[in-house]
């Protein structure tokens, strides 16, 4: 089995920034594993502008932001990029196994940086009662359908959750001619940026219902409607406040969860509440020589801060290696 100095798992903004920073700090043998066919991670489907204001002092789209890092990564001979490489195993001894078309590979790493991003919370995790028809999608899946494939999931939509992803998808759907009937938010304020509330909802006349929740999804084969109720301080339904909104699509945008099943299987301590690694310092894990950064360490709103903090992970790994790690 081959031994590499540093293996980075995940080629999103976090993984690329970490690999580049490790290289700048002197690491010469880096393997970057990415399960997708290209680098960039979730940014590839974020075709709206608003990325890089801090990092590049320019307003870029997600793919443009990703591309700047992908070019730097490709130009670094110290970083071997392996695409379509799906990591399926990590051990406390830092053995990394991954599948790619035609091969199951194993490497031993002197240091590992996990940059596996996050996944969306689903309707099942809330959980929202009712039927289980077609037409209920995590907002990020709808974003992928619309932006990557040109597939329009529905004609009349209700969005659950008013974080930035929910807001941006409400606007994206409206731009595609979908009637967005409502955004439903259980809290009394939105988690999203004010500019997004204005630009994504107000400019499109989309109603935002604060302190409301979806009590049930209806429809046998395809979504037909949602039942909505107002909630009290304890998020319980206020009797008599219910109403129904007809729609054929429900986009669920109720938060992100760090994706750390590999770290967990390796025995790293994971906070059951956040699903992030338990660590006193930024980018740490409970396994020596294994670091985590970006959305897999904690969920970030802005990619600019992902890049900044992930560079620290790259440097921390370099320092660990320089300290005589074997």
Partner 1 sequence: MKVHDVAIIGAGITGAALARELSRYRLSLLLLEKEAEPAFGVSKSNSGIVHAGTQNPPGSLKARLCAEGNRLISGPLSEELGLDFIRCGQLIAAFGPGDLPRLENIKAEGEAMGVEGLEIVDRAWLDANEPNLSREATAALHCPTAGMISPYRFVHALVENAVGNGVVLRELSPVTAISRGADGVFSLTAGGGNYKARSVVNAAGLYADDIARMAGLPPYPIRPRKGEEYLLDRKREHIANRIIFPLPSGKSKGILVIKTSDGNPMIGPTAHDTADREDLSTTDEGLDEVLEGARRLMPSVNKSDIIAYFAGLRPAAGDDFIVRHEEAVPGFFSAAGIQSPGLTAAPAIALMLKGLLAERGLRLEPKEDFRPLRERTVHLFKVPLPRTRELIEEDPAYGDIVCRCELVSAREVRDAIKRGARTLDGIKFRTRAQAGRCHGGFCTTRLMKIMQEELGLSAAEITKRGPGSEIIKDERK
How far is 144 from 148, CA to CA, in rounded Å? 5
Query: Where in 279-298 is the site for ligand FAD (CB under 6 A)?
Result: 294-296
> Which region among 30-38, 105-113, 122-130, 282-290 touches ligand FAD (by CB under 6 A)?
30-38
Q: Does 61 bind partner 1 (CB under 8 A)?
A: no
Return the residue matching tokens 């798992």.
Answer: 9
How far is 167 from 104, CA to CA, in rounded Å? 41
Angle at alpha carbon of residue 96, lines to 95 and 102, rounded to 5°: 135
Per CB under 6 A, the list member of 300, 311, 318, 321 interacting with ligand FAD is 300
Query: Where in 82-141 is the site for partner 1 (CB under 8 A)?
Result: 84, 86, 88-89, 97, 99-104, 119-120, 122-125, 127, 129-134, 137-138, 140-141
SS3 of residue 54 by DSSP: coil
Query: Where in 83-102 is the site for ligand FAD (CB under 6 A)?
Result: 86-87
Q: Is the dihedral of CA 292, 296, 299, 303 positive or negative?
A: positive
- Distance from the first to the final alpha carbon of the chain: 15
CA 118: distance to chain centroid?
Answer: 4
Q: Report in angstroms how near the CB of residue 63 gets to partner 1 at its nearest.
A: 17
What is the DSSP-derived secondary structure letter of residue 278?
P
How far is 138 from 48, CA to CA, in rounded Å? 18
Q: Does 239 bind partner 1 (CB under 8 A)?
A: no
Q: Which two tokens stand for residue 214?
A: 């979806």
Q: Does 150 bind partner 1 (CB under 8 A)?
A: yes
| Residue nearer to partner 1 on the CB measure, 38 or 100 | 100
Q: Report in angstroms how near the CB of residue 62 gets to partner 1 at its nearest.
A: 17
Q: Is the dihedral of CA 316, 321, 325, 326 positive or negative?
A: positive
Contact residues for partner 1, defined by CB under 8 A = 35, 84, 86, 88-89, 97, 99-104, 119-120, 122-125, 127, 129-134, 137-138, 140-141, 144-145, 148-155, 176, 216, 220-222, 248-249, 261, 264, 272
Contact residues for ligand FAD, defined by CB under 6 A = 9-15, 33-36, 41-43, 46, 48, 50-51, 86-87, 115-117, 140, 143, 164-165, 168, 256, 294-296, 300, 302-303, 306
């Amino acid at each position: 089995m081959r031994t590499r100095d540093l293996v980075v798992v995940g080629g999103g903004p976090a993984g690329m920034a970490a690999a580049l920073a490790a290289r700048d700090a002197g690491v010469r043998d880096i393997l970057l594993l990415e399960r997708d066919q290209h680098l960039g991670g979730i940014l590839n489907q974020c075709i709206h502008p608003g990325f890089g204001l801090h990092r590049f002092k320019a307003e870029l789209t997600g793919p443009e932001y990703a591309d700047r890092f992908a070019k730097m990564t490709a130009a670094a001979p110290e970083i071997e990029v392996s695409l379509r490489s799906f990591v399926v195993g990590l051990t406390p001894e830092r053995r990394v196994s991954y599948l790619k078309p035609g091969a199951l590979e194993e490497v031993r790493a002197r240091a590992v940086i996990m940059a596996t991003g996050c996944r969306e919370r689903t309707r099942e995790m809330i959980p929202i009662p009712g039927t289980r028809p077609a037409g209920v999608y995590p907002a990020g899946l709808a974003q992928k359908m619309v932006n990557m494939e040109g597939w329009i999931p529905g004609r009349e939509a209700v969005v659950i959750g008013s974080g930035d992803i929910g807001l941006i998808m409400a606007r994206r759907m409206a731009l595609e001619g979908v009637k967005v009937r409502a955004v439903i938010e259980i809290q009394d304020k939105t988690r999203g940026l004010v500019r997004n509330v204005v630009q994504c909802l107000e400019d499109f006349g989309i109603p935002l219902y604060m302190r409301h929740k979806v009590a049930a999804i209806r429809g046998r084969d395809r979504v037909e409607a949602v039942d909505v109720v107002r909630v009290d301080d304890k998020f319980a339904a206020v009797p008599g406040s219910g109403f129904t909104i007809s729609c054929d699509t429900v986009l669920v945008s109720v938060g992100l969860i760090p994706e750390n099943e590999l770290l967990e299987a390796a025995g790293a301590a994971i906070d059951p509440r956040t699903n992030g690694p338990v660590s006193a310092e930024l980018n740490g894990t409970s396994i020596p020589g294994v670091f985590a950064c970006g959305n897999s360490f904690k969920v970030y709103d802005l990619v600019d801060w992902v890049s900044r903090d992930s560079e620290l992970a790259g440097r921390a790994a370099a320092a660990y290696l320089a300290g005589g790690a074997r």
